[in-house]
Amino acid sequence: VAANLLDHETRRVSDRFPVYALFTDPPLARAGITEREARASGRSVLIGQRPMARVGRARERSETQGFMHVLVDGETRRILGAALLGIEADEAIHCIVDVMTAGAPFTAIRRAVHIHPTVSELIPTVLGEMQPLI
Higher pLDDT, 62 or 9: 62
* Contact (CB, 8 A) for 65 and 21: no
Specify the pLDDT at position 12. Answer: 76
CB-based burial label for 116 (10 Å; 0-12, 13-18, 19+): exposed
Q: What's the sign of the alpha-carbon dihedral 33, 36, 39, 42?
A: negative
Identify which of 74, 79, 84 has the alpha carbon closest to the alpha carbon of residue 106: 79
Cα(first)–Cα(last) distance of the chain, in Å?
40
pLDDT band at 113 (very low <50, low <70, confident <90, very high): confident
Identify which of 60, 37, 56, 55 has the alpha carbon closest to the alpha carbon of residue 47: 37
Identify which of 89, 93, 81 has the alpha carbon closest to the alpha carbon of residue 26: 89
Specify the pLDDT at position 117. Answer: 87
The dihedrals phi and psi of 34, each to the nearest 5 degrees, come to: -90, 170
Point out the catalytic residue in the list 8, 69, 114, 116. Answer: 116
The architecture that CATH gives domain 16-132 is 2-Layer Sandwich (3.30)
pTM of the model: 0.88
What residue ranges do the domains of the chain occupy? Answer: 16-132
Specify the pLDDT at position 134. Answer: 87
Is residue 116 part of the annotated active site? The answer reads yes
* Contact (CB, 8 A) for 122 and 115: no
Biggest alpha carbon–alpha carbon distance for the chain: 50
